[in-house]
Each structure stands twice: as C-alpha cells, then as structure tokens.
Structure 1
Amino acid sequence: MSSNKARLRSGSLRSLPHYASSSAVVEEKFHGRISPWFISVPLAIPGLRTRRLRIWMLNPRRMHQYFGRKRGYLLMVLIFAAMAFTTFALAKRFGTEEKTWPAFTGDPPTLVYRREDLQRIWTWEIASGHYPSRRRLPEQLGLKSVLDNPSLPPRRASLPPRFRAPSGPSTVHTHGIGPRRVYLDIQSHPPDVAYPPRPVPGSIADLDIVMEHCDFSEKKYVRDCLEFLRLGGGLDNGKRLRRGKMDDMKYIYLEQLDAGNETIPPEVAGEAPAIVTSVATTDPDSGLTKKRGVDWEVPPIALPSPPDYRPYASLSNPCDPESPRIFHMFWTGPFTDKPYLALLSFLFTQNTGLHLHDYPADTAGCRPQFWLWINPGPAAAVPNPSALHDMFAQLKSNPWAAPFLHPRFKDVIMFKLWNTTEQLDGVPELAKEWRTRESLFNSGGHVISVPPKKEDATSSSGSGNETEKAKADEDDILNRTGSKSSTSYDRLSVILSDMARFILCHRFGGIYLDADTIMLRDWEEMLGWKGAFAYRWSRLEKYNTAVLHLNKESALGTFLFRTALKNDLGILLSPCRTVTLTPNLDFHPMTVSRYLKEAYLEGLLLRLPDALFDSAWLNTEYYQRDRPPQPYFTDFADFFDTPLGISAAPHALGFDGFFKGAYSYHFHNYWWKPFDPPRNWPDLGSRFIAGERAARASARAATQSAVSVEEKPETEEGEDLIEDDQRDLDWSTVLKRTMESYVRGERPNMYGEWLEW
C-alpha cells in the first residue's frame, strides 16, 4: 500500500492508458489546471533586435486536452487548411484583376471568347429575332445600351424616365419593337369535339409563360405543367372541366402587324448592329475565366449581317427559309422498330396534309418534313462510293423501313445519307481545322480512338475459329451497328450523334430529336418560336439535347463549334488502360452546358423543363412522387414492361392517357426491348403485307430457336388468336398498335384526320 501511495505522489500514473472521451477531466486531475486555448509565439523582427512580433495561435496542448491527441491533430490540420484556402480566396478575389472567387469544380474552364465577342453574339441573336423573351440579360455582359428586339412587342405602358428606378452598371432588358401578340383560346367547338383542333398555322408558344407554370426550379410539378399545356393547347377537345377563368392558361399567340408598328425600322434594316462595349476598365474582360493554356480567340468573332426578322403574317410563302419545318433524326445500323415508331408518331401527330388527296399549293401552313439521317455501317466507317444506292436497297428490303418508301410519304419523310466528312466540311467554323483532330469521337471527355484500318492477314485456322473471330470483331466497339443489348451498347454511334445534332441544326435549321423519342402532339407553335432551345437534365441545371432547336447558321452555333475546337483535349483510355490527351470535338450535353454557362450565353439556348419532352424523368429519379403525372413510371423500363399494379391503364386509356399535353416522350435508350413482343413486326395492312410476312417469319424463327416448346399449329394468315396475345398490354404496345391502325385506315390520327391514299 505504501508503495502505491509513493507512485501516486511521484505521478507515475501518467503511463496509464489515455482515453479521449474523458481526456479533459483526466488532464485536469493530473495537471491541476486547464491550458489556455491560444498561446503567443514571439517572432524576431529584422532590424529590431530588442523587439519581437507576437503571433497568436491555437494551443496544441489545449486541443489535446479537450479532443484527445489524434482528434486534436486532425482538427488542427483542418483548421490550417481552411485558413490557407480563405487566404487564397481573398487574395484571388481582391488581389487580382479577375476579381472572381476561385472555383474548384473539377472541370477546367472552357471560355475562349472575350467580353466584346460575347456582346457581339448576343447583339446578333437579338437583332435576328432569336430572343422572343422578356427574361433579363446577364449583367456580366456589361451592355450599356438597350438593344432593339424585333421579336418582342413594345411594353404596354412605360413610366417617364424621372419615375424609373436607376439602372445598374449594365443593361439587362431589351426594347421591344416587334408586332403585337394576340393570345388564342384554343378549344373544340360542337359538334366537332371528338378530337382536338390543329394548331393555327403560324402560331407561337410563349415559352416565358410556359416557364412560369413548368419550371422545376420554381417547384412546379410535372402533373400541373401537363394540365396547363393541354388546356392552353386545346387538347382537352370538349372535355374541359370547369376550372375558373382560363386566361392564365393561354400561352399560344399570333403576331399581328398594326399600322405604325413596323418590325424593323427602315433605316436600320439589314445592317449589322453596332457593338456595345462596356465602360473602359483596367481589364475589359474582368470577371471572365479564360481557358488555361490558350489565347483568346482571334480575330474577333466574324458574323454576317443578321437576317431580317419577318413575322409569319408578312411572309409571301408560309415556309420561312430562316425557320424551316424540319425534324432531324440520326440512326446507325439496321433499321428496327425504334425509328419505325418515331416515323409513325410523326405521321400520327404532325400536320402532314396526308388527309388531303392533293396538298394545296396555297395552303396557309408550312408542311413539315422528317429527315432521317442514316449512317451506314459502324459509326467509324467511311462510306463507300455506292453507299447511297446500298442504303436505299437495304431500306427497301427491311420490313420496318420499306413502308416509308411508299410514294404517298415522299414529300414528308426523306431518308438522307450521313457522311461525316461531307457534313464537317459543310460547317465553315470547322471545315479548315477538323482534319487536324486525331479523334472526333469524344463525349464528356471520354474519347474513343479509331486506329488506321489494317489489312486482314490470311488465317490458317479452321472455319470454327474464323467464325468466332468474325463474331468478336462484330462485337468490337468500333464495329458495332446499333445497341443489341445493355452489354453491347453502341457507344460510338451515340457519341457521333452528339456532334451530328449540332451540325444538322446549324447547317439546315429545324429541330433534332433523338431516335428514342415518340411525338405526342403537333409541334407547330414550338417550330414557330424563333429562339433556340433544348431541355433540362432532370433535376440538374444542365442541358439535355435529346431535343434541340438551333437556328440555321446562327451566332450561337458559331460560338459552340469554335469553342469545341479550342477545347479539344480529352482523356483517351487505350486498351492497355493508359491515359493520354488527344484532340477531339466534345458535344456531350454536360460539356455544352459548361460552354454556355461560362460564357453567359445560357439565355440564348433556353433550357425548357423536361415535362415538355421527358415527363417521366423526375419520377424515375425519386422526385415529385407525391403527385406524379399519368402514367406513373418509376423506371424507364415501365414503358416496355408496365408494372402489374398500373397495367390496366394502357388498354383502357390508350394514347389519350399517355402524358397528355407533352410534346414528346423520351424512353431513354432500351434499343433492345421490342415495343410489341407478341407482335414484333410491322402491322400496316395489305399494302405492306410482303414486309409483314417476312418479319413474322423472322420473329417466329427467333422465338422457336430461343424457346424449346411444342409448336402450336399455325393459323391461317391474318387470323391472330387473342390467347396468343399478351393479357395486359404495355404502354409501348398500345402506342405502336394505335399508330399502326391509323396507317391501316382503321382510325384517324390524333386530330381526327383520316389518311387518304
């Protein structure tokens, strides 16, 4: 006992284990007092031997007492790191010319244009009528003069200057000088109430109003957006329930030219707009974050004179060459049921005039066209001289494609041969430089390098090895022609399509649609809106370019192509998994989002809510499930394999109950899933029976080889038994069969028009 007391008095208990949870109490017992939080450290001052500079800092001993040794060290490291970052951020914000807070997003800057060039782009687009919006302009542009906007009507009332609020450092509004807008109350009238009326030719959707009712950022529900779209668009066709005054639901308008309200003043028509510069500063590009390692784009961006804005009412021909009614789609590989249904949906919804025996030359509307661009073979292959002839021969022999070669569709559906070389040469912004790029296949920084083609060596192996080699070569990423399953995804074609959509819209104008898109209503008022648009990437403030409207030869297009050329270093993953940098062109939607955000040009490519084109997306990502739209999909696969709990809806509601109000539906790939498994062939009637027979035989052979069961006796041609059909029809099946029945002549299209052969 005495020895224990001696050890206690001598303090030998300091060697006992140390517990962090009670470190403060234990240390207080041992030391008798708690150390202060801060201590002063004297530092010598050069030239003053007798004076010291005292620096106050955290006391490590106190940190150890309170938090424990390990936690104390970790906390001190975090505190010093935070202090270092704060010092760096303050120095960059207030000690540099850029005057910007540092951004640690992981993505390098992409901007290559000066502020003066960005002002030129905005000025050109506004003068061309490509900004029919009341949304504010970015203050970062530094515009000092109000720009005339020919696509925006004058304000109804304006306060005298002495009563207006003082303007900020830059102009954020435009001055409307355009025609008056008359908003339409579109609805069916008795007795024609079975189907909705066609949109009025030349009508335009006011997308500012659409944003007010549909913007996810403002907590708007997809369900409410679809109600707004179908009521304002007249899709209720006489089934409107009383909802009170409907003026707030009007979003479609016509432009009316009034006396004394010219679109463009005669003295400035056709002239290039003056460039508006900001107030002189030390650095005119202050606040812009330039791409590292490259110079500003020189010479300054060269733009032609902006085209005259011509309202629809002033056109001598309803088809404005500046705003063509063209839908583009890109396809690689064998023609399947996916582009088949996309084309059927075009015929079923758009104003093609096929209900008339002879399309009138003096019609008030512009007849839309669908251009399906076919890339023959693998995406990286070079078309041979007979590629065009071979393409049409393959389309003619394909049962899914052959019906659309019928002369009745020749004026509205056109098959185009895609040639990457010809297309890139057709873009002036790329023509002189794209050949210097080692690889064009880049999407989001992931690059696929295409090696030079090698001559095949003569193989001495047996036929079995040759067959296996051929199969392996076909499945190689460079040789794939379409996505046959989730494991053999044709990523190269997808990457090529990311670039193709911008090229096609820039060269020809119109709207690009991904091939996994189904049209659900007439797009007249969307085609009439002269601004560029894509839609939102679900919950993120990024773009999804599955739907893309870009004006022909626009300043915005020039910016995107030149920026992509200057941002041409991507990550190349070789077969050996080594990482290198390679020049390429990146038009992935996420990358395009960065291009536009860093240049303050997002306003020129309106990011519409995905409710308009992709109504199920938010639900599939666990958003808005408390009030989902109809139908309620929690996964994109529900379109093809509708869950049992909601499987009564497709057959009972039909096309009319599928996201009614939306302009299209995007089913997000699933190229390998048939729309109609029990009837996986084109069912278009006696005119196309030869293709149907071939497809039936192919489907029957595939089923018999995949499933070893006792064969049922074949029925007579055309006698399909209901017991052989799927009991609960999926949504994909219902949409396919509905549109096929229109071509067979068994029902009209969604607007009550019968196909006239």
Structure 2
Amino acid sequence: MPSHSPQKLHSRRLSNGLPQYSFAAQEKRPRQQPAFSWLVPVIITLPGRQPRTLKCWVINPFALARCGRKRACLLMTCLVLFALYFTFALTQRFGTKEKRWPRPPFVGHPPTLVFRRDDLAKIWLWEIASGHYPSRQPIPLELGLKFIPDNPSLPPRKRPPLAIAYEASPNSLPTNGFGPKRIYLDIQSEYDNIAYPPRPVSGSIADFDIVMEHCDFSQRKFVRDCLEVLRNGAGLDNGKRLRRGNMDDWKYIFLEANGTKPAPIAPREIVSEGSLTSSYFESPDSSGLTKKPGAPWEPPLMLSTSVPVRSHSRLSTPCDADYPRVFHMFWAGPFTDKPYMALLSFLYTQNCGLHDHDSHEHACRPQFWMWINPGPAASVPNPSATEDMFNELKSNPWASPFLHPRFKNVIRFKLWNTTEQLDGIPELKDEWRSLETLFNSGGRVINVPNKDSHAVSPKESDTETARLSMRHEHDDPIHRTGSKSSASYDRLSVILSDMARFILCHRFGGIYLDADTIILRDWEEVWGWKGAFAYRWSRLERYNTAVLHLNKGSALGTFLFRTALKNDLDFHPITVSRYLKEAYLEGLLLRLPDALFDPAWLNTEYLQRDRPLSLTFQKFFDTPMANSAAPQALGFDGFFKGAYSYHFHNFWWKPFDPSRNWPDLGPRFEAGELKAKSSPKVKASLEEGDRRDLDWSTVLKRTFESYIRGERPNMYGEWIKW
C-alpha cells in the first residue's frame, strides 16, 4: 500500500458535494468536539391558579467557546456592557422624575431647549389670543394644557370642538373658534377685462389649511396640481378656465363677514375627558423635555399683553398698524442685477399705486425695504456710512432708477448696522456682546480675527509684497463683499443674512425675502393671514427661511432669540427647525409647501419625476435648445403661474440678460444705461448682438423693464403713470 504524504491527509470533495476522507479517524475528529447551540431554551413558570410555563430563548454563554478564547472574552465583555447600559436606561426612564431616555453625547445633535413646559404653553396661548393661529390644526398635548383655548381667528364650529377632536384623533387638542365667519370667494375675470386677472379683493385672506390639503408634499401632492389650485382659486386663469369637476374645495381665499362677534366661551377643563388626559398634566413642568446640556432653564417668561384682534372691516384705515406690509431684503456688496430684478418684480406684481396717483383708495400699499450692508459682513460702518451708501446707489446704474421720486413711498433703501440691530432686540441687547462670534451656521463657527492682526507695517506699506497682501485680504473669506463666482462665495454675508431676517421681522414686522427671489403675483391674501410662516426644505421636514414671516414683537420671536442666544446665535434654517421641534412649537411657524415660493426645488432634486416640471435652477439662466421656444412663446404668463414667488438659489454670477446686461428702462434713466454700456463686458455683448433664443431669466427681465418704460401694463392690466 503506498504511503500518503501529510498534504494528502485533508478531506477531498466529490463532484456531488459530499466530503471524502482519507482515514476514518479524520472523519470522526469533528464529532469529538462538543458543539454548543447559540441559543438555549429556558422554562419560566407563570404564577396563577393554573400555572403555565413559558419557553424563552436566551444566549448560551458556553457557545462563545466556538469563537476561541480571545474572541469569546471580547464578546462577553460587549454583552455585559450592553446589559448594564440597558438596565441604566430603564432605570432613567421609569425610575426617576425626569422619565426620559438617556441620550448618548455622540448620537446626533445635542438638545437646544432652554424653556420649561409652562413657558411653552404661555407662548402658544399668547400667539392664539393675538390671532396668530388661524389654523384648525390641533395643539400638541405635550404642552400640558388642561383646557381648550379660545381662538379669535377661527369662526365658531357647529359642533363642540371636543367632539370633533375625538373623531379626528383621541389625543388631539383643538382650539375653540369665536371669530367672524368666513366667506370663500369665487374669483374670476370680469367681462370687460378678460385679458388680465383681477386684483385680489382688499382684505382677503388665504386659508392655508386648504392650501396644505392640495399642496403638501408629505401627503404625496404634486407641484403641478398645487399650482393649478392656486391659480384657479385666485382667478389667475383670467378667462382661460377649462371645465373640470367640482372645484368648491379649491376655494382658499375668503373674506371675514361683517356682524357681531361671538362672545368667547368659558374655557372647559379637559382633564376628566378620558383619553385627552395626559401624564404631562400631573408631571413637573420639565418632565418629558430634553434640556440643553450645561445650560440652565430660562427664568419664567414675562410676555406683554396680547395684540388685539381686529377684522379688516373694523379698521379705520386700510392698513393695520400691528401688521405692517413690508417686504425686507438684505444685500451685501455692490448693487447688481439680482436685487434689481427683485425690485422690478415687486413693482410689476404688487398693488403699489403706480397706476393711479390717488392715494385715498381703500387698499393698503405694501413697501419694499432694501437693507444694504456696504462693506464686509464683519466690518463696522463708519460715521458717514449712510451718506456714502446713497452716493454709491446714485452712481450705480442698477440701483439709481429706484431713487426716482415716483418710487419714494414704495421702495426704501436702509443701511444695515449689525450693532444697532442687535441692540434693538430686547431679548439680545444685554447679552450678545459676551458671545465669541456672531457667525455660527449650523454649528459651524467662523471666528473673525481682530482688525489689528491684518495691519500692514509702515516699512512695507510701499512694497509690492504689501500690495499683493492687501489684494489677497480683500478676496479672502473674511473681507469679501458679495459672491462674484462659485469659487469666491461670500459665506459670512450669508450667515449674517440668516440672522438679519429674524431681527428685521421681529423688530419691524413684515415678510423677509432672499435676494435671489422673484415675486410672481400679488400677496394681498398672504398679508391677510396673520400667522407666522416659512416654507419646507424640499423633501425634508425642515424650514427654509428664504421666505419668512414673523409678527412684530411676538412671543414666538422671543422664544427664537432666547433659544438662539443659548445656542451661540445659530440661525441656520435647519437649526431653527430643531429649536421649534424640540419645543413643540412647529405649529406656530407654519411650514408651507415649497410649491408656493420655490416651485422648481423638488424637481431639481430629482423628485416627482413621474409628473415633473421641466424647469430647474440652471435651466432658468441657460434654457436648453430643445426647450428654448417656451420662454418667448409663453412669457411671464407661463412661468409657474399660481406660485407667489420663484427662488433661483444663488447663481449671483450669472447675468439675467447676457446680450443686454444693463438696466433698459427708457429715456428717464438713460444716464445709468449709458454708464452700464461703457463696461467692457457689455461692449463685447453689443458687438455679438442679441441672442435668437431667449432664456427664461431674460424674458422675465425684459418683461418687467417694458412695464417701467410704459410699453405694456403689469400682470393685472394696469399701466404705470409717471
């Protein structure tokens, strides 16, 4: 019998997959080692008159020996640590007064909350009593309210609110409406002016609860369907309405009926109402809330008297002083065609009175406040900053037309002073100077060095090195003024604008718009809705504050500023979303669908591809050849009709009209036009001639300019009168 080498003692497999052994001893060797199962049954006897047994499967510790001694010890250690943490978590959850799960410091973002539950309830009640919650959505039970609050901005219900709450959800807490009744309007063009849509009725109000039913992306609603509802309910289809089914639920604009106001009903206790009773009612005011680590609770909140609620029919003047109609916009650096377009769209769409010199009409004229930060975001204005700002605006061809006396009471340029603005916020003025920096965006802090660290010594001031150093200094991120390209983005000004929008709305009231926004229709019914709002961050359940409405001196604003102060003054939209979510205040800042103010965003992020909208941000400035016939054929009337505005998301360096990149506003503003044409880039575009196919951005710019020149009416058929 031939001898076998050691290499041939291993098992071999046949073609059928079965092993083949050289010796019988080799075949029996695996059976000599005891094999333990990973799980073993454990019998537990349940007590009772008829005892029962329960079989539970647990981990067999002896099975760890199959992994080897070192691995077995490591696995056993991990299991013991997990058991200890799980036991500690259960103890914290059910064995203490706090009753909350411990949050590991390395998981997600740290909590931001600094207000107790009773203060959060005060904020809700103040906003509701001031008429800032005209919504039928329920109030979070986590507030611990023991009664149904009266809501002066909602009409009375035909049925008790508590019964309606039980039908909708056993854990919902509605409000008791006692405001004026609502008359929903069927708005259509008049027979003698069928070519243009009618202006919104003065004092009309948008019911955003109805808008949410047709436009909420989280409920699988499409942007194109939302835009149809918006333009149909507002009469923007101007005689081109096609026969559809029943469209009564598309009516989202209403007027408040005249008549006596119902008296408020005495608050009713709900603690004894079964499922509406919450464990928060008997718990301490901090139970169930996750406080910011290392930060003390805010002292008891002292709020002013709530704002008196008055319907439009009871006002002595068309404008309500408590709710000013002011658009705010923040701009840093030289004035360009971007804020120029925002102002033109404002004049083209809003009821500014430019078509009539009579100022006694029964309509409230909105205003546009353009806030100018003349230098870098971290700079301090000099004493003559205001005078210098207006001198620069007069010499700038893009800005000088809006200094014309005809726009005196419509457009106002204002100097932004960070120190003055922060001192104007009562919640910040005594503490903001103790912060290390004002530039915090989403937890990313940018420290601005002292001015002396960049000073150039006298010995090198005349050298080439000093000149190159100063040139580099003006282009570094700290000293930039405006975004000239995608590579030189002015990040500090963007962070400053995140804070500026909240300051302006809290100090003066009104609505803030990002500078890359174009207004597409009259906002009359938006002004009538007294609640605070922003819009949704595309597919995410977060806020985008590119459009922001806060009421002047509101309790919600107090919460936001005090919370931001304890979180290093971070006003990034995603951080603000965390502030409100952790405090159960999201209902007070309504998160409207982005279709209303940013209709191209979902499609840009490759969503709703089964029923898409063809336009994206890049195509707005560079319309593809295959679609380049649409802008000229459809014009302004075919550009996202129904949406209130369009947000093109930056692209500061892309001109709206490459072949005619100057303010083309007619003989009245010829001096600025000639100055703009003297630029080398503009001269080169003049030599090339006009483009045959116009982009969407170009069509909108030339449409707005033709209205200012008096060659066409605005979108509502009104001609400007000089």
When normalised by structure 1's length, the TM-score is 0.84
AA in 2 matched with 1:512:
Y
Q: 1:504 matched to which residue of 2? A: 504
Mapped contact 2:161–2:175 kept (Cα < 8 A)? no
AA in 1 matched with 2:517:
T
AA in 2 matched with 1:173:
P
Distance apart, 1:687 and its partner CA? 0.4
Distance apart, 1:74 and its partner CA? 10
Distance apart, 1:159 and its partner CA? 8.6
Mapped contact 1:149–1:178 kept (Cα < 8 A)? yes
Q: 1:471 to 1:135 in 2, by over 3 A?
A: same
Distance 1:5 1:458 in 2: 89
3-state SS of paired residue (2:451): coil
Q: 1:621 matched to which residue of 2? A: 605
Q: 1:122 matched to which residue of 2? A: 124
Q: How does 1:504-523 map to 2 (within 5 A)?
A: 504-523=504-523
3-state SS of paired residue (1:293): coil
Q: 1:582 matched to which residue of 2? A: none
Distance 2:226 2:26 in 1: 64
Distance 1:166 1:234 in 2: 35
The partner residue of 2:648 within 644, 659, 667 is 667
666-675 or 94-103, which deviates more: 94-103
Q: 2:142 matched to which residue of 1? A: 140
Give yes or no for the alignment of 1:177 onto 2:178: yes
Mapped contact 1:144–1:278 kept (Cα < 8 A)? no
Cα deviation digits, residues 22-60 of structure 1 (max 9, x gap):
99x99996422872324789xxxxxxxxxxxxx963357
Cα deviation digits, residues 187-226 of structure 1 (max 9, x gap):
1021211111000011100000000000011000011000
Q: 1:166 to 1:413 in 2, by over 3 A?
A: closer
Mapped contact 1:333–1:378 kept (Cα < 8 A)? yes
The partner residue of 1:108 within 102, 107, 110 is 110
Mapped contact 1:37–1:63 kept (Cα < 8 A)? no
Mapped contact 1:144–1:171 kept (Cα < 8 A)? no
183-192 or 596-605, which deviates more: 183-192
AA in 1 matched with 2:669:
F
Q: 1:699 to 1:228 in 2, by over 3 A?
A: farther
3-state SS of paired residue (2:679): helix
Distance 2:592 2:118 in 1: 28
Distance 1:474 1:6 in 2: 78
The partner residue of 1:740 within 705, 713, 717 is 705
AA in 2 matched with 1:695:
A
Q: 1:61 to 1:4 in 2, by over 3 A?
A: farther
Q: 2:362 matched to which residue of 1? A: 364
How many pairs align?
688
Mapped contact 1:119–1:277 kept (Cα < 8 A)? no
Q: 1:99 matched to which residue of 2? A: 99
Give yes or no for the alignment of 1:406 onto 2:404: yes
Distance apart, 1:157 and its partner CA? 3.4
- Counting aligned pairs with the same residue, the percent is 65
AA in 1 matched with 2:430:
K
AA in 2 matched with 1:394:
E
Distance apart, 1:609 and its partner CA? 0.4
Unpaired runs of 5+ residues, structure 1, are 42-54, 269-275, 569-584, 705-710, 713-722
Q: 1:285 matched to which residue of 2? A: 286
Mapped contact 2:664–2:705 kept (Cα < 8 A)? yes
Mapped contact 1:60–1:72 kept (Cα < 8 A)? no
Give yes or no for the alignment of 1:437 onto 2:404: no
Q: 1:375 matched to which residue of 2? A: 373
Distance 2:349 2:437 in 1: 39
Distance apart, 1:468 and its partner CA? 2.3
Distance 2:124 2:244 in 1: 41
Q: 2:48 matched to which residue of 1? A: none
AA in 2 matched with 1:225:
C
3-state SS of paired residue (1:431): coil
Distance apart, 1:462 and its partner CA? 6.0
Q: 1:248 matched to which residue of 2? A: 249
Mapped contact 2:130–2:307 kept (Cα < 8 A)? yes
Distance apart, 1:61 and its partner CA? 4.9
3-state SS of paired residue (1:544): strand
456-465 or 726-735, which deviates more: 456-465
Distance 2:6 2:326 in 1: 98
Mapped contact 1:142–1:170 kept (Cα < 8 A)? no
Q: 1:97 to 1:37 in 2, by over 3 A?
A: farther
Q: 1:116 to 1:278 in 2, by over 3 A?
A: farther
Cα RMSD, aligned residues only: 3.4
Distance apart, 1:460 and its partner CA? 3.4
Cα deviation digits, residues 420-469 of structure 1 (max 9, x gap):
11111111001111111121111111112122211431243766434422
Q: 2:665 matched to which residue of 1? A: 684
Q: 1:355 matched to which residue of 2? A: 355
Q: How does 1:136-285 map to 2 (within 5 A)?
A: 136-158=138-160, 165=166, 172-259=173-260, 261=262, 281-285=282-286
Distance 2:73 2:604 in 1: 44
Distance apart, 1:473 and its partner CA? 1.1
Give yes or no for the alignment of 1:749 onto 2:687: no
Distance 1:228 1:166 in 2: 28
3-state SS of paired residue (1:660): coil
Mapped contact 1:642–1:730 kept (Cα < 8 A)? yes
Mapped contact 2:327–2:369 kept (Cα < 8 A)? yes
Q: 1:44 matched to which residue of 2? A: none
Q: How does 1:255-654 map to 2 (within 5 A)?
A: 255-259=256-260, 261=262, 281-298=282-299, 300-356=300-356, 358-361=357-360, 363-454=361-452, 455-460=455-460, 464-568=464-568, 585-629=569-613, 632-633=614-615, 635-654=616-635
Distance apart, 1:661 and its partner CA? 0.5
Mapped contact 1:222–1:615 kept (Cα < 8 A)? yes
Mapped contact 2:156–2:177 kept (Cα < 8 A)? yes
Q: 1:60 to 1:412 in 2, by over 3 A?
A: farther
Distance 1:419 1:178 in 2: 41
Q: 1:28 to 1:75 in 2, by over 3 A?
A: farther
Distance 2:469 2:63 in 1: 70
Distance 2:465 2:83 in 1: 65
When normalised by structure 2's length, the TM-score is 0.88
Distance apart, 1:692 and its partner CA? 0.4
Mapped contact 1:681–1:699 kept (Cα < 8 A)? no
Distance 2:260 2:252 in 1: 25
Unpaired runs of 5+ residues, structure 2, are 42-56, 268-276
Distance apart, 1:748 and its partner CA? 0.5
Mapped contact 1:146–1:171 kept (Cα < 8 A)? no
